[in-house]
Chains A and B, each alone.
Chain A
């Protein structure tokens, strides 16, 4: 099998490849979230409020006994200070039975990737105020945070293709008006625009509705950018010799758009998606951080971050900041992947 040049070029970008696989793992992980997460995101362990992360040990008293964690003992219930109790230990094991969940949202199951054999909770990334496992919550939060990026960019792109395509193909006054309108949208300060749109939403809506509205809100500023880009491409391709040739042969405009113009901008669209998704992920995180986006009982990374809003909490229980790290990693991966793809598609770059 002969590979295409962009593929060969992309394969040489080590960092781009790494980011690609990290993202693949992330997206796969939210499909298997119930299995990967040791607990359900809202399972509370009341006595374990703000418990620090467990360290995994292998040796007890100099003897190898396999992976286990030591018990954390509440030392100060008021300040939620814990002390390691080196006498009580909980063995870890793979594939243990735990909370009920539905695999792929369908199949009822109880097996989790790992857990303690005695049913005591284990918190590899610590616990939050209500004693919920941070790791489980991050894994489950990925579902909303990662899908919202894609869904809203795809929505925006659909709008962008439609409006940009019309604008570029018709040209003239239509084009001019549409483009000036797009520029106004682009000029609006994005985040305040999110806030404004959010403020006009009704207060009593279900989580599913909320997800839908937030997706739309995030899509609105980005369609304008896509529309401009696509319009420029359509405009330049409209005068390509092969398009002229098709017009001379009497091809209909819609056939020209579908057969001659859209296929050329496929790689541009892929780039547009990879480079726009991080912006939307950050937008969602920002809204949720301010409690204006996703709220309890749904879980998203931005919403998890809102727990870190209080500087005192942050100082005493730094592990509540884990979601921020995951957001940064995701955004970094998307951008690196995007720029690697850009180089790979660019016939002039090496």
Chain B
């Protein structure tokens, strides 16, 4: 039986802007099991990145994680609520029990320092060794993420590296303290397709080796089918569908998921022969007041009910779906 390592309950994050309030994440609940890769999928404004920043307690003014939100992290045989931790206690979690990698690796390294020192930094910060120990560990980590000539490359500065190599460096940095959870926020979006495949391979390999759990955030549904165990689909800050990756892709239940799958161009579709399905309308603006189902305006199956009230999540057979018509 897999145990839940992270449980998020009713996470609501709201931004208080000068001219309006924006609820970026709206009472989102999900859990992450050990040894699991969970994909969070959404478009701009879906709240996928805010979710992960909320977990890490990295939401700054004017944003706020509402106090009733619970982010429970398994610690020994009990759970601690990250939302109630002080900044100081949270520093012991970040980079240590939960690590993050980002879309832009070049923006995550200090351009003025050599990479070797930066990769092992978290070991030193978390009191797991001296500067020399950290550097030695860093060299080992670079080897583990398959950086050729790792001893030489450790002496390099960030600008001397290609995007793919930097992303490897960032993964090495994130793995330094053997975290239980790795949050990967669009780690391959800025990379070329060939490099993307390499980085995904590396993540999968490390996950198998260390047994950590990964929250994989992306906008690309095609990427996650065989890479992830479970998928969460977000739209306008709300969970739309959740389930095992393969099931969701092969048998989508929410109209949004269905439409999304049909609108992604596949190799083997040609002009004049095939017509790509286009979802009408646009993603709701941040802060736009939505009555009813957030997807109602673009939905092919929309009824009067959908416009009036927001459907609740129906949980059945290990799948969750927020739609009135899912089982009818």
Q: Do chains A and B touch in the complex (CB under 8 A)?
A: yes
- Asked if B19 CB lies within 8 Å of chain A CBs, one says yes
- Asked if B112 CB lies within 8 Å of chain A CBs, one says no
The proximity string for A residues 1-12 relative to B, scoring 1 for CB distances below 8 Å and 0 otherwise, is 001010011001
- Asked if A350 CB lies within 8 Å of chain B CBs, one says yes
Of all chain A residues, the one with the shortest Cβ separation from B16 is A350
* A72 CA / B263 CA spacing, docked (Å): 91
* A350 CA / B18 CA spacing, docked (Å): 8
Of all chain B residues, the one with the shortest Cβ separation from A6 is B18
Residues of B within 8 A of A9 (CB): 18
Count residues of chain B with CB under 8 A from any CB of chain A.
4
Residues of A within 8 A of B61 (CB): 350
Count residues of chain A with CB under 8 A from any CB of chain B.
6
- Asked if B280 CB lies within 8 Å of chain A CBs, one says no
Of all chain A residues, the one with the shortest Cβ separation from B19 is A8
**Which interface residue of A3, A9, A12, A350 has the most chain B CB atoms within 10 A?**
A350
Residues of B within 8 A of A350 (CB): 61-62
Of all chain B residues, the one with the shortest Cβ separation from A11 is B18
Of all chain A residues, the one with the shortest Cβ separation from B61 is A350
* A5 CA / B18 CA spacing, docked (Å): 7
* A12 CA / B16 CA spacing, docked (Å): 14
The proximity string for B residues 54-65 relative to A, scoring 1 for CB distances below 8 Å and 0 otherwise, is 000000011000
Q: How far is the CB of B101 from chain A (nearest CB, A)?
A: 23
Residues of B within 8 A of A3 (CB): 19
* A22 CA / B62 CA spacing, docked (Å): 30
Of all chain B residues, the one with the shortest Cβ separation from A9 is B18
Residues of A within 8 A of B18 (CB): 5, 8-9, 12
The answer to whether B62 and A5 touch across the interface, beta carbons within 8 angstroms, is no
Q: How far is the CB of A8 from chain B (nearest CB, A)?
A: 4
Q: How far is the CB of B241 from chain A (nearest CB, A)?
A: 34
* A160 CA / B84 CA spacing, docked (Å): 54
The proximity string for B residues 292-303 relative to A, scoring 1 for CB distances below 8 Å and 0 otherwise, is 000000000000
| Chain B, 15-32, CB within 8 A of any chain A CB | 18-19
* A5 CA / B61 CA spacing, docked (Å): 17
9 contacts between A and B (CB under 8 A): A3-B19, A5-B18, A5-B19, A8-B18, A8-B19, A9-B18, A12-B18, A350-B61, A350-B62
B interface residues (Cβ-Cβ under 8 A, vs A): 18-19, 61-62
User: Told that A8-B19, A12-B18, A350-B62 touch, could you supply 6 new A-B pairs with CB distance under 8 A?
Assistant: A3-B19, A5-B18, A5-B19, A8-B18, A9-B18, A350-B61
Instruction: Give 4 nearest A-B pairs by CB, closest first.
Output: A8-B18, A9-B18, A8-B19, A350-B62
